[in-house]
Structure 1
Amino acid sequence: MAIADMTDAWDERVAAVWAAAAGSMVDDEVIAAIDVLAAERGTDDARAEFERAGARDSAGRPGEAVPLYAHALELGLDDEHRPQAVIQMASSIRNLGDAGRALALLDDEYRDHPDAPFRDEVSAFLALALASAGEERRAASVALLALAPHLRRYTRSMTAYARELAD
């Protein structure tokens, strides 16, 4: 079996665990299932660490999740998973009471990866972190700039108004 086939099979098994957990609170059983799969790849695998972090995060254990997200990001995630890890880690950090640190992570992702997947999601969490940090006008600007391209009309004027808010 080729390496790509093994990776695809691993991804499918991870997806199956998450699908089975959908709609319910993630518990120790889900964490254990993800940990078993992650162990196949080891602690030096960014995706494995990302999945371990996500399981703990989903179980309401942000303090356990944050170091795992940080390790996954340090190891290097692909463009699909990096923004998800940043969003999830920043959200956990904000929930732990450090809006400034969450804001810094999201600001970096927003600035450094303008064409990355999950751009709207990064914008939404950035707006939330900005509001938590007391920067409501900039939060509204970020949210409106993310929304503007999805409007059927008034995109140009909404973009201009959103930029005015930030100035």
Structure 2
Amino acid sequence: MTNDWQRRVDAVWDAAGGLGDDEVIRRIDALADERPDGDPLALFERAGARDSAGLEAEAERLYRRAIDAGLSGSERVQAQIQLASTVRNLGRPLESIALLVAIEPESGDLRDAVAAFRALALIDAGDARHAASVALAALAPHLARYRVSVAAYAEGLTASA
């Protein structure tokens, strides 16, 4: 059931650009209703639909419920990243940073996304040097040339602050 359900959820997200926010929420909620009450995946998808519609306060509550209900794996990392982005948008960048720092050790292939959102939160918190350092450190391994130089500059931004 989960694989078919997830395929249908993914289909809604694939079509989201042409549906409009209200229709995405309606469709995601209908799919979430197929799962048991308190199901962490259903809560996560409901949160994402509201988040993408700009309903951050509703999304925050649902992300927290999904995580508390035992959301695991990549979805848990995604939920924590999305929650961090949401609380930053709600004007709480320090809380956003703390959420991202907490999930970073288990972020795996989403490590660069964690860095990107942490850099945004650091800017909002008034620490542009640290934000640039985080962003450059995440970028450095992807460079064909100047990898070592950019990594050193990233470290130097915070060492001299």
* Same-fold call, TM cutoff 0.5: yes
Report the CA distance shift for 1:93/1:100 in structure 2 as closer, same or farther (over 3 A).
same
**Residues paired across the two proteins, number:** 159
Structure-2 separation of matches of 1:116 and 1:158: 22
- Tell me the CA shift for residue 11 of structure 1: 0.4
Structure-1 separation of matches of 2:60 and 2:28: 16
Report the CA distance shift for 1:80/1:12 in structure 2 as closer, same or farther (over 3 A).
same
Structure-2 separation of matches of 1:91 and 1:125: 7
Quick one: which amino acid aligns to residue 76 of structure 2? R
Regions of 4+ moved over 6 Å: none
- Tell me the CA shift for residue 67 of structure 1: 0.7
Alignment match, 1:116: 108
Report the CA distance shift for 1:132/1:24 in structure 2 as closer, same or farther (over 3 A).
farther
Asked if residue 83 in structure 1 is aligned to residue 77 in structure 2, the reply is yes
TM-score by length of 2: 0.91
Alignment match, 2:122: 130
Asked if residue 20 in structure 1 is aligned to residue 15 in structure 2, the reply is yes
- Tell me the CA shift for residue 24 of structure 1: 4.2
What SS class does the counterpart of residue 153 from structure 1 fall into?
coil
2:154 to 156, 162, 166: 162
Quick one: which amino acid aligns to residue 37 of structure 2? T
2:4 to 6, 9, 12: 9
- Tell me the CA shift for residue 43 of structure 1: 3.3
Structure-2 separation of matches of 1:25 and 1:165: 44
Alpha carbon RMSD of aligned pairs, Å? Answer: 1.5
Alignment match, 2:29: 35
- Tell me the CA shift for residue 31 of structure 1: 0.8
Name which of structure 1's ranges 68-77 and 118-127 shifts more when overlaid on structure 2: 68-77
> What are structure 2's unaligned runs of at least 5 residues?
none
Structure-2 separation of matches of 1:89 and 1:10: 23
Name which of structure 1's ranges 142-151 and 31-40 shifts more when overlaid on structure 2: 31-40
Report the CA distance shift for 1:127/1:25 in structure 2 as closer, same or farther (over 3 A).
farther
Quick one: which amino acid aligns to residue 142 of structure 2? H
What does 1:37-116 correspond to in 2, within 5 Å?
37-110=31-104, 112-113=105-106, 116=108
- Tell me the CA shift for residue 91 of structure 1: 1.2
TM-score by length of 1: 0.88
Task: Report % sequence identity.
Answer: 55
Structure-2 separation of matches of 1:125 and 1:48: 24
Provide, for residues 1-32 of structure 1, a one-character-per-residue CA deviation record: whole Å limited to 9, x for no partner: xxxxx1110001101111121x2474222211
Provide, for residues 68-122 of structure 1, a one-character-per-residue CA deviation record: whole Å limited to 9, x for no partner: 0011112232332122111211111111111111111112122x32x51211111
